Structure 1
Amino acid sequence: MTPPTPVVELVRASFAYEDGPAVLTDVGLAVPEGRAVALLGRNGGGKTTLLRLLSGGLRCGSGALLLDGAEVTYDRKGLTRLRTSVQLVVQDPDDQLFAASVAQDVSFGPMNLGLPEDEVRLRVTEALEALDITALADRPTHLLSYGQRKRAAIAGAVAMRPRVLIMDEPTAGLDPHGQERLLETLERLRAAGTTVVMATHDVDLALRWADEAAVLSPAGLRTGPAAGLLADDALLDAARLRRPWAVSVGRLLRSRGLLPEGAPGPRTAEELDALLDRVG
């Protein structure tokens, strides 16, 4: 069976900032529809650059960016086509929020598409509901907490109704409760058909949340199912990532005969408790 065409794809992409060394060389990354993809790697390894290439914020020095199999052009028409399908949420919400109120900020993208006023209002309402911040619609953005600003920034991207939502370290700076609320939100978006790509340093989060992983190391980009890729000790060492808690626990349980070979291990403490209750 022929695999489906990725929604968005980087093909042999390379990039270097002006007067600097290459940040990425000959990188390929395909984002299939309906999947959750975690991008991991060391600090300064090129994750943010890769996300900006994938969303059209930067242009490949060589190689190409494809949308539905067709090469993206960087004129107004091509970028509008890309940005109605792919949206990037940057790491610091203060780099993205600029309007006086939350609702005004969320409405900015749909208004720039030239949509009718009624359609803009509908999209703002839906995005605020999706991020559970309807009560903040009229709140000045400078009075929001950090977690609220994160959610408002994501709502602005969601209002564009993208097929692919790309986020750079969305859980950074959030407390555990805030992280859980964000993950619940992402699950609702995925259930509604949005493909999600997330850059993160949190290997435990990536293993728990993602279907696919993409790991940047000095040797290049490796992609594959998250469970297998994040159990590759040599790859994790090269990317300066620690072994996920769940991988270590799974290996320990198998060594003690408490988990069959090949069976998926617990990904959270709650799942470990439930497994031990069953075998105990």
Structure 2
Amino acid sequence: MRPLVELVGAGYAYEDGPAVLSGVDFGITEGRALVLLGRNGSGKTTLMRLLSGGLRPGRGELHLDGSAVRHDRAGLTQLRRAVQLVVQDPDDQLFAASVEQDVSFGPMNMGLAQAQVRERVEAALAALGITALRDRPTHLLSYGQRKRAAIAGAVAMAPRVLILDEPTAGLDPEGQERLLDVLAGLTDTTVVMATHDVDLAVRWADDAAVLTPSGIRTGPAGDLLRDPALLAEAGLRQAWSPAVTAFLRAHGHLSPGLPGPRTPQALSAWGAARGGPGPEQT
């Protein structure tokens, strides 16, 4: 399947600095939840900004639907209708007086009719579970509410790809679970998430891209994120779920064909269903 958005032979270096990315061939496949993982300074933010048009490749090209993106006003407008980036700190993105005004800003600037703007705003507020906050001043929102308001502003643009930079950072466990439920409901949008949380990546993603000093490794998340050597090269800790699954299989508690627990809660439920730790009863 041809990627929806793709960097081809792309490289980028900031002024008076070494190359952050070089010779990158990287694509986003529609309908596949994708996670970007790497240590600080690995190039995740640069990669996201290249994909969303915030930066122009110093070398190579960015493609949308197989055609090179023109980095002029018309080309970037077309790209940003398809690809939206939500930055890590919501205070860098929210600027209007109220939640509704902020969420409506993008659709209004697309030149949509008022009825279409209202429809998109209603849908985005509902999708993020913040309809009741529509009239709330943005500066009076909690951190988690500001995160969801910032994402709602991007969702209101009806993008085909939504790129989120560390969306769960700063959220408590309940807030993280609420946000993951929200993302699962965005069925018409391909979500890309940058995170340091390998356990979250294993739970959530279909595909993974791991940024290492030697380049970007991509593949199915379940395969890539159980490779200890790759994670060590990327400066990431080993994921909990693959480690526990390997332990259970090594000690005869889990057949090779069965999936392992993906969370501590799932492990507890698994153990309770079997009357505590012990060989499989199958």
**Above 0.5 in TM-score?**
yes
Pairing of 1:128-277 with structure 2 (within 5 A): 128-189=125-186, 191=187, 193-277=188-272
- Which one-letter code corresponds to 1:184 in the other structure? D
In 2, the alpha carbon distance for the partners of 1:156 and 1:134 equals 13
Structure 2 unmatched runs, 5+: 276-282
- Which one-letter code corresponds to 2:33 in the other structure? A
Cα deviation digits, residues 215-257 of structure 1 (max 9, x gap): 0000010000001100111110110000001011011101111
Q: 1:278 deviation in Å?
A: 4.3
Query: Which one scores higher on RCO, CA 8 angstroms, separation ≥ 6?
Result: 1
Q: 1:118 deviation in Å?
A: 1.1
User: What is the aligned partner in structure 2 of residue 122 from structure 1?
Assistant: 119
Pairing of 1:29-44 with structure 2 (within 5 A): 29-44=26-41
The alignment's C-alpha RMSD in Å is 1.0
Cα deviation digits, residues 144-181 of structure 1 (max 9, x gap): 11111000000000000001000000000000010000
Pairing of 1:66-145 with structure 2 (within 5 A): 66-145=63-142
1:58 aligns with 2:55: yes
Q: Is the 8 A contact 1:141 1:149 kept in 2?
A: yes
- Which one-letter code corresponds to 2:5 in the other structure? V
In 1, the alpha carbon distance for the partners of 2:259 and 2:16 equals 47
Q: 1:261 deviation in Å?
A: 2.4
Q: 1:273 deviation in Å?
A: 2.4
In 1, the alpha carbon distance for the partners of 2:70 and 2:245 equals 46
Cα deviation digits, residues 182-234 of structure 1 (max 9, x gap): 00000000x3x210000000000000000000000000100000011001111
In 1, the alpha carbon distance for the partners of 2:2 and 2:136 equals 41
User: What is the aligned partner in structure 1 of residue 279 from structure 2?
Assistant: none
Q: Is the 8 A contact 1:216 1:239 kept in 2?
A: yes
In 2, the alpha carbon distance for the partners of 1:221 and 1:276 equals 37
Q: TM-score, normalised by structure 2?
A: 0.95
Q: TM-score, normalised by structure 1?
A: 0.96
- Which one-letter code corresponds to 1:211 in the other structure? D
In 2, the alpha carbon distance for the partners of 1:102 and 1:28 equals 38
Q: Is the 8 A contact 1:258 1:279 kept in 2?
A: no
Q: Which moved more, 1:164-173 or 1:19-28?
A: 19-28
In 2, the alpha carbon distance for the partners of 1:262 and 1:238 equals 29
- Which one-letter code corresponds to 1:201 in the other structure? H
- Which one-letter code corresponds to 1:103 in the other structure? E
In 2, the alpha carbon distance for the partners of 1:233 and 1:13 equals 28
Q: 1:262 deviation in Å?
A: 4.8
Structure 1 unmatched runs, 5+: none
In 1, the alpha carbon distance for the partners of 2:56 and 2:169 equals 26
Q: 1:29 deviation in Å?
A: 1.5
Q: 1:75 deviation in Å?
A: 1.0
Q: Secondary structure at the match of 2:241?
A: helix
Q: Is the 8 A contact 1:147 1:174 kept in 2?
A: yes
